[in-house]
A and B are shown apart, each in its own frame.
Chain A
Amino acid sequence: MRSDNRPPLILTVGAIAGLLFLHLPILLIFLYAFTTDERTYQFPPPGLTTQWFAVAWNRADIWPPLYLSLKVAALSTVMALILGTLCAAAMARTRFFGRDQISLLIILPIALPGIITGMSLRSAFSIMDIPFSTWTILMGHATFCIVIVFNNAVARFRRLSGSIVEASMDLGANGFQTFRHVILPNLGSALLAGGMLAFALSFDEVIVTTFTAGQQSTLPIWMLNELVRPRQRPVTNVVAIVVFVTTFVPILIAYYLTRGGSETAGGGK
């Protein structure tokens, strides 16, 4: 092996081909939103039109699922922010009995396949005769969003120098004042990033939701129904673009907020 720093050709080709494999398919979603063909997935599209955006806007069955998704995502983000930050504050710098078990418990809802989380909640609702509602959806979403906020917040807590907290106390601030004026401003961008990711994750979640929604329809569930029984296929593409952008923009913002730090925004979904 030569020790020069040029990658072998086959490696470069493999890496670029792999990245293209990860990115090209999404582009087709955009292309098919403009096709004139609403019955099949014919490629290349027989013609191009922008009418489907207007059609989607006027479809009454899209709006309620959109509102429900936004509501659930917003509420579960708030809950995850509170619960995740509390966890992170407790776990960042301390060592205590059972600490490893607690961190496993925080990660478990996202480490186990969604179907297990979903089926578990479904079993519990069945045993306790809890009827499906927005709250049942929210219970599932908040549970797996905690880890996202936790990951971002705990990384920031570890990076936060302990001396500024001590300085604040030396200057006469009590614990609450220190939290309000010293810790919170330092935590801000990490929490914003975590909240963005939690929102994106919740807005897009479908597997757990199908088990906890009953007859209600979130936007991903609406999309899933359209995928199984398509009608006006390009409208589904328009909605797919909305979902894609609604999750993509927060992710990008989260990346720029946490860039340069030791923490990574994702680190395993």
Chain B
Amino acid sequence: MTLAAQPSDRTQAARSAILPERGAGDRVSALLWRHPNLLLAALLILPLGWLVVVYLGSLSALLLQSFYSIDEFSGQIRREFTLSTYAELFRPANMDIIIRTVAMSAAVTLGAVVIAFPIAYFAARYARGHWKALFYLGVMLPLWSSYLVKVYAWKLILAREGIITWATDGIGASAVLNGILALPVIGGTSLSTSYIGTWLVFLYVWLPYMILPMQASLERVPQSMLEASADLGASRWQTMRTVIFPLALPGIIAGSIFTFSLTMGDYIIPQIVGSSRRFIGQAVYQLQGTAGNIPLAAAFAVVPIVIMLIYLTIARRKGAFDAL
């Protein structure tokens, strides 16, 4: 084991480049060096085991639950395969929830594209040095800072007695605000109980997820193409529409995957800011909690997965994954 154990140690070491083993550590190292796949397996077994058992296991539990049903009389979960729980999703009340959620996700995504574009474009093309770092931090900090605190801040802003009412009164625009709130469907008694409010908070919370991939794809647009476009006589607007926008599209789609999926799966925001009409997330939360109908909650949770799979298939065809 030890160096001293070998008699003609010095001459031996001088003759061969291979040092004698000094213990179990050396032997294990040598074994792993000779069998890289063994090393790989040793490294991966713990994390993969965890992810497969805890995460994939849970996902399959979700699928399994969605094929169970609830006994209408006893309220117990009937553990037999059935499609009746999925059939319940097609009741008008439940379809309304799904359509409302998808419409909100689409609206949030569109709003995010419009607001994110100037920030992403400025950061990608004009910001240099300190400004670049400032833009990066300026997007990163809101992305990472506390989700609930952000939502709470908007509850303060949108409240009937809050800063927006104060500001519109101050500039004499309260008629405009009341006009907007009087609109059918998207209006309400105050901003914090209307779809407009819900939309604004979603937009605020998920905006950084749109800016980052958009900026990444805009940074890859070569300067020479913009110069060529200008040389060929295109106006700024034409360059934007026919050169920059198509090249940035994969990044925009990548960002939209985040904004769309995150909006669809959220239940906190519509609960705190919004009307009493429910979204998919709220339905899942109430069904598994107070209603105790875990199978229907699971079936509802499968809906965003299916919609996102369809969305991802389309996005993949448009080359959005290169921009991630």
Contacts and interface: CB of A to CB of B under 8 A. Distances in A.
Interface string B21-44: 010011011101100110010011
Contacts of A207: 265-268
Interface residues of B, number: 105
A90 B40 contact: yes
B122 A143 contact: no
A240 B155 CA distance: 13
A119 B152 contact: no
B43 A269 contact: no
Contacts of B208: 22
Contacts of A112: 261, 265, 305, 308
A40 B153 CA distance: 14
Interface in A2-33: 2-3, 5, 7-8, 10-15, 17-19, 21-23, 25-26, 28-29, 32
Interface in A193-220: 197, 200-201, 204, 206-207, 210-211, 220
Interface stretch (A47-55, A57-65, A120-128, A182-190): A120-128
A40 B192 CA distance: 13
Nearest to B235: A1
Contact of B150 (A18, A25, A86, A119): A25
Interface string B202-242: 00100111001000000000000011011000111001000
B51 A29 contact: no
A120 B188 CA distance: 35
Interface of A: 1-3, 5, 7-8, 10-15, 17-19, 21-23, 25-26, 28-29, 32, 40-44, 82-84, 86-87, 89-90, 94, 96, 102, 105-106, 108-109, 111-117, 119-124, 126-128, 139, 142-143, 146, 172, 174-177, 197, 200-201, 204, 206-207, 210-211, 220, 223-224, 227-228, 236-237, 240, 243-244, 247-248, 251-252, 255, 265-269
